[in-house]
Amino acid sequence: MTALKRNNVRVLGNGKQPIVFAHGYGCDQAMWRFITPAFRENYQLILFDHVGAGQSDLSAYSRSKYGSLRGYAEDVLEICRELDLKDTLFVGHSVSSMIGVLAGIAEPARFSKLVLIGPSPCYINDGDYVGGFNRPDIEGLLESLESNYLGWSSSMAPAIMGNPDRPELGAELTNSFCRTNPEIAKHFARVTFLSDNRNDLPKLKVPSLILQCSDDLIAPEAVGRYLHQHLGDSELRVLKATGHCPHLSAPEETIEAMRAYLS
C-alpha cells in the first residue's frame, strides 16, 4: 500500500513550494479548511489523515508501529518521499507539532521551516517543568477515555476547544472525536499524553515558529516558552486566540502569523 492511499493524501494548490498540513488528535484534514484557501494560490498544499482518522486506511494500523510518535513521523516522511517533496514547509497542530519535529530531526534536508500550533513536548509536570497536568490527572483522563470514549469526547472536546461563547466550535470537535475509530483513538491518546520529547528538541536544526494560544488548557503558555528556549532556531508568537485550536477559532489571526513567518 502506498503512503498516499494509506493516509488519504490530497494535493491542492497552484504553487511549487509544498506545505504539509498535519492535524491534531481526534481530528482529520478537514480541520484545515479555513486555513488552506489563503495559501492555495502560491503553494502546493498536501493534506492527509493520520492512520485511524478521517478516510485513512484502518487496516494499516499497527499498535507496535504507532506505539510512539516516531511511527507517525515515519508516515510523514513516507508521504514526502512518495511525492518527492523538497524545501517543504510543515504545519502541525498539537501532537502533530512533535511529529513534525521528529520528522525534521530524521530528515532535516527535506524541510525548510516548521510551524508548530499549540505544541507540547511533554504534558506532565516534572520538577521545574510545567506541562499543564499532574500525572494522576493524565492517568484519570486516560481511564475515563478507556471506559467511556464517547462520554469523554463529549466533555473534553469543548474544554479543549475553549471559546465557550461559541458552542458550535466545541460541538464540531466533539463530532470529530466521535468519528475517529475508538480503539485507535484510545491508543493514540495514551501515546500522546504520555510522550516526552523534551530531549529531542535540541536535535532539531530546522527553523520553527511556535504559535502559542492564550488560555490553552492543553498547552499552557509556559510550554510555549519552554519550547522557544530549547528549539535552537525558533520564534514564539503568542496569539490573542484562546483555546487549543486557533485554526478553527481564529483562522484570520493564524493565517496572518503564518504568512508573516513563511514570507
pLDDT at residue number 152: 86
pLDDT at residue number 213: 95
Count CA atoms within 13 Å of residue 33 on its CB side: 5
Instruction: Report the domain count for the chain.
Output: 1
User: C-alpha cell of 78?
Assistant: 513516507
pLDDT at residue number 1: 79
The pLDDT profile of the chain, 263 residues, written as one tens digit per residue, is 799 999 999 999 999 999 999 999 999 999 999 999 999 999 999 999 999 999 999 999 999 999 999 999 999 999 999 999 999 999 999 999 999 999 999 999 999 999 999 999 999 999 999 999 999 999 999 999 899 888 888 888 888 898 888 889 889 888 888 788 889 999 999 999 999 999 999 999 999 999 999 999 999 999 999 999 999 999 999 999 999 999 999 999 999 999 999 98
CATH number at residue 124: 3.40.50.1820
Catalytic residue among 200, 244, 247, 249: 244
Range of the domain at 187: 3-262
pLDDT at residue number 130: 96
Determine whether 216 is an active site residue: yes
Residue reference for cell 484519570 = 140
Catalytic residue among 94, 97, 176, 249: 94
Contact 82, 10 (CB under 8 A): no
Determine whether 228 is an active site residue: no
176/169 Cα distance (integer angstroms): 11
CB atoms within 10 A of CB 109: 11
Catalytic residue among 28, 216, 234, 249: 216
164/46 Cα distance (integer angstroms): 31
